[in-house]
Structures are given as structure tokens and as C-alpha cells.
Structure 1
């Protein structure tokens, strides 16, 4: 496993303020190794991938959206208000990668769209973990950060995405919201099959590097995502290298890749609980963590991606009204068909 670079190490230790890093992929040596294995060492394809990487790094697009106001804050975790009227809906994103995937770009923002559709979306922004968050596990983030923010909103619906959905579901088992939506949420980690033990085993190498840093920088986590779909990782950069840089498709790629290559470090307790307690022990799926989702008294909409390589459909919790979505983990939220497949059904269910 490639070590994080100097800037990632400084960010993980809290020696410098979080700021936008030069474009990735980070760490580049691990990326190139995974790509080379994915294309069987084909030098022509590797050259095409590198051309795509250079096109990405040089692209002029930068995300430029007005920042929503903060309406509540606990520690470094804020609740952002996207305006609108009607039912308040609190979105809980994953602790991994920034929350901006739900507010990705002009014309491709689920939250800003919902604000114009008779709802009042609010977003949990986990922020860069401060000293108070360095000792928090996933349970700590739920009990000491998420729950107080949810209590600050009167009778909200709650929407959780990815690991954020796991946390939202766990919170709901203690304090049920008006209604709950789960989007690509892992709960039964047996659904990862053989990948489950591979991911759990990766923690041993990761911990040896992360523990001296006091946190887990994204540079250590990112290669795990690439390894879930090495062929797709190579193919997307090959495709970018052939695109017109001025095309909408190229700009959409850059916007999404900027999000995917960004993110604050995770606290050590969060990472340990995720890899050991979830992937390793399957505590949620065994009913040994927080309770049984089937006991929830509130309405639940369970949106499951059928082409998800990050959260396999088999890992979804058995709860609520399940709706299968023919898109990938990220594509279901920001892909070309996301509005029809997810945005509109989500709006309709929340407004019912």
C-alpha cells in the first residue's frame, strides 16, 4: 500500500488547515499499479490512461456554487440549509469523501433541485475532524454529532446515503424520524461476499501507517475504491482522454472526479469500527449493533443500486419499501438519468 504524500500526512495530523489539493489521482503510484494490472500491462492503454489523467489535471473547470448558510453546529459538524419550503429533510452523507456529491455542480445538485420542489433540504457537513472528533467512533459521531443536529430540526424526514445511511438508520433505531430514506446503504456486510474479508484485511496495513498519524487520510482509503473496480477505473480515464475538453461530458467527469479525489481524514476509531466491526464482524447484519431495522415504526424508503460496486445490492438492509435503481453507486445520485431514476421518486415520496 502506497504511503500518503506529505500534504496528506500534514492534513491527517492536523498540522495545516484543510485546503484544495492539486488534482489527483492520489496516491498516483498506487493508481498506476492498479491500472497497469487492470489492462494487463498493455503500454498503449496505459499511455491512453495517462493522457486522460493529464487532461483531468489540466482541465479549467472548478466547482463554483454559493455556500448555503449554517443553521446549527456541533463541534466541527455543521448543518447547512439549502432553502425551500415545506417538509424539512436532513441529508446524511458518508463520512468518506465530501458531502458535495449531493450538491455537485450547477444543474446537477439534488439538494438545490429539491429546494425548488416544495421541500426544505438540509445537509450534514461532517467537516474536517477537529481534536474533539479525533476520538469519535461511528457511534460517537451518531450520538454526539448527528443526533443533536437532528434534534435541532422540527420533525424532519431523514435521508442517508452510503455510510451516512448506515448512521442514519442506526440513529433512527434509537430516535425514529418522521420518515427515513436509505440510498445505497450497507448494513448486511455478508452481501460483500469475498470482498468483505479483503476489505477487512486491508485494515492491518492501513492501521500500521495511520496510527502514527492519528487519523486515516484519504490517500490510504482511495486505493480500496479503485480495487473494487480496476477495469472501470482504467476505462473512465481512457474515455476522458478521447473527449473534447469543452464538452459537457468532460466537465461532468471533472466535477465528479474532483469530489471522488477529495475528502478529510477519518478518525482512527471510525476506521477501526468500519473495517473490524462492519466488514470483519458484520455487527449490523448480525443484529449486534443498534438493533433490528425491521423494528422501525416509521415509513422507510429503501433505494438500492443494482449496479453498485461500492455497496452491493446484497448488503442493503431488509427494511421498508425497497426500490431497485438501475444505476451505479454514484450514478444513481448524479448520473445522466439520476433525475428520473432517483430525484423525482424521492421528491414524490417525501411530499406524500
Structure 2
């Protein structure tokens, strides 16, 4: 056993060394920004070389606030946005950026009114003034569903990928962690987040990295052992490094938004209860009138089925698909084009998958 432990430790260290020394650097030409406010930009993927129709039907894409938006445009061959653009859609990515002075006091309500609604209005103008499709990934999917519920007049179609909704589950390590925090009471976590905001201007990236590590404590060791077994010059190794670079390139979150996410969502479970206020009133998923496609990965550990599936049950016209993929794998994995991108593209175009 000692020999095996030592071998795996060496493989983990070797994988880390390969990652740190790998020559890959992301070199992707960003599309032009149609609008910018504070740290946020609205990037037009209809203007990329891959786009089939630069004036195609707009799709407002809302990513997570926790990680960089470019996971949806990671690198050639691993870009959901360019794939959609090549099939006639006009993806408009709301890139939140890293929060600066303009966003320091933003909670999720402010992000909705000051960032999402203006971006949605631009998408509507480009589409002729009517409702448009909205696609959200991770907590951006939760925000997208909230927009569709609060402003059903603005959303023609809704897609969420890996969007958490119901946080009651205590399954697994992350569920147990939620249970511990609930037992201690939300006030302690609120005070900690407020102190971080005052000390650092925002909640540091390291807090969220620590929380993700709680979900699967041995994941880092296993994945770097896998890299050690790959040819560093292979496409698989390049994909690994690109994704790992993205994971390491996190952004802080404003203290009020972190409080909404970690206390009101995770601890109080206000979203599924219909008590979370957004765009001026509590969110009721039953008010969503747009056709909806909910993509919930069977192997997702960030938004596992007990957290993601209830959104599909709460929306009157929702269709649920459950690909055998993980959270990030749904947008950049080798099986993502067949299992996720293709049904998403068909749904947005109004075709059967």
C-alpha cells in the first residue's frame, strides 16, 4: 500500500509539473463588444469567422459569476458559442468580467437590473424587438430561469445547462457541508462574507476554490495523475491544460452577490421555495411561459440531479435531458457536441433534437 501511495503521489506531482511547464497558451480572438458597462461586456459571436449568419437570431448567453465566461469559448473545437454561430445562431455572451468599483455593492438583483436587462434589450433590438432566446450555464442558468420567470414577455426560449435550483439535498460531501452550515445558522456565514468584502473589496477566489474542493476532495490528485499518463503534445493534453488554466483563472465575487449565492440559495434554499427576490419580486418558475430545455448532467457534482432536475419540474413547458457528463464536461467535454450542443442547437432553432 505504501508503494502504491508513493507511486500515485509521484504521478500527481509529475502531472502538476507538466501542466505548469506546458507551452499551451489560450490564443483566441475575441469577437467585438456591442456594449460595455463597468466590468461587463456583451460579445457578439455573430461577428466571428465561424458565424454562418451574422444577423441570425440572437441568443443571450449568461454564464456563471464565479468563473470566467470564456469556458464557453475555450479554444478551437471546444467552443459552444462558435459551434452555435456556425449553425446560424447569433450568440451574445454577457461576459461579467472581474467586479470593479462599479460593481462592488452589487447583489444579484443589481446584476439583473444593471447588467442582464440592458444586455437583453440589446439582443431584442438586434432580433427585431420581440422576445429572444436565453441560454444560461451554471448559476447563469439559474439567473436565466429567473429572468424568464420575472419577464416572460422578453424570453422566447430558455436553455439552462447545469443550473442549480433546489438546494435541500444533503447527499454527498457538498450536501453535508450545506447541512453543517444550516445547523450553525446563516448569520455566521453572512458575517464572514461581509468581513471579506470589507477587507478585500470582494469575496476572494480562494473561498470558492475551497468550496469546489469540498465537493470532490481527491479529484485534483486523480486528474493530474491522468495528465501524467498523456503525451504532452497530444490534443487530450492540450485540452486538459486549457481547462485547468481556466479553472485557475477565477474571479472574485462581490460580497452581496456571494451572500445571495451561499446564504439565500445554498443555505436558506429560497430559490426553489419561490421566495428569492429578483427583478423586483420573488421568482416563481411556474410563471415561465417560454419553451424550456433543462440540461442536467448525470455525473455533475457541482449541480447534481437533486439540485438541477427540480427546475424542469417547476417549469410548465420544460423538457429535461440528462446526458452522461459532468458539470464542465457539458460545455467543453469530448462528448459535449453530441450529447449537449446538438440538442441545444436543435431546440434553439425550433427543431426536434
Q: Name the TM-score class by shorter chain.
A: 0.7 to 0.9
- Corresponding position: 1:275 with 2:253: no
Does the residue aligned with 1:152 lie in a helix, a strand or coil?
helix
Which of 77, 99, 120 is matched with 1:107 structurally? 77
Q: Do the aligned residues in 1 keep the contact of 2:43 with 2:92 (CA within 8 Å)? A: yes
Q: What residue in structure 2 maps to residue 295 of structure 1? A: 287
Contact 1:191 1:312 in 2 (8 A): no
74-83 vs 95-104, greater mean Cα deviation:
74-83
Q: Is it true that 1:198 corresponds to 2:161 in the alignment?
A: no
Q: What's the Cα RMSD here?
A: 2.1
Residue 343 of structure 1, CA deviation: 0.8
Q: CA deviation at 1:313?
A: 0.9
Q: Which range is displaced more, 256-265 or 288-297?
A: 288-297
Q: Is the 8 A contact 1:162 1:186 kept in 2?
A: yes
Identify the residue that residue 213 of structure 1 maps to in structure 2: 200
Which one of 123, 138, 143 corresponds to residue 153 of structure 1? Answer: 123
Assess, with a 3 A threshold, how the Cα gap between structure 1 residues 256 and 140 changes in structure 2: closer, same or farther. same
* Structure 2 portions without partners, runs of 5+: 125-130, 182-187, 277-281
Whether contact under 8 Å (2:145, 2:285) holds in the other structure is yes
Q: Does 1:116 align with 2:93?
A: no
Q: Deviations over 1:104-141 (max 9, x none)?
A: 11111111111110111110100121212010011211
* Corresponding residue number in structure 2 for 1:167: 143
The whole-number CA distance in structure 2 between the counterparts of 1:221 and 1:135 is: 19
Is 1:312 aligned with 2:304?
Answer: yes
SS at match of 2:169: helix
- Structure-2-length-normalised TM-score: 0.84
Residues 39 and 97 in structure 2, CA contact (< 8 A), matched pair in contact too: yes
The structure-2 alpha-carbon separation of the partners of 1:340 and 1:196, relative to structure 1 and needing over 3 Å to count, comes to same
**In the alignment, what sits opposite 1:24?**
none
**Highest relative contact order (Cα 8 Å, sep 6+), 1 or 2?**
1
Query: In 2, distance between residues paired with 1:203 and 1:325?
Result: 34
Match of 1:321 among 316, 319, 322: 319
Does 1:249 find its partner at 2:249? Answer: no
Q: Which moved more, 1:177-186 or 1:191-200?
A: 191-200
SS across alignment from 2:221:
helix
Judging changes above 3 Å, is the alpha-carbon distance between structure 1 residues 227 and 349 closer, same or farther for their aligned structure 2 residues?
same
Of 55, 67, 71, which residue of structure 2 is paired with 1:97?
A: 67
Residues 150 and 287 in structure 2, CA contact (< 8 A), matched pair in contact too: no
Please state how far the C-alpha of 1:153 moved relative to its aligned partner: 1.4
SS of the residue 2:210 aligns to: helix
Mapped partners of 1:173, 1:144: distance in 2: 18
Write the deviation string for residues 161-197 of structure 1: whole angstroms up to 9, x where unpaired. 1100111111121212011111110111113536246
Correspondence 1:128 to 2:126: no
Please give the TM-score of this superposition, normalised by the length of structure 1.
0.84
Q: Give the count of matched residue pairs.
A: 314
Residues in 2 aligned to 1:332 and 1:59: alpha-carbon distance in whole angstroms: 25
Partners of 1:209 and 1:76 in 2: how far apart?
20
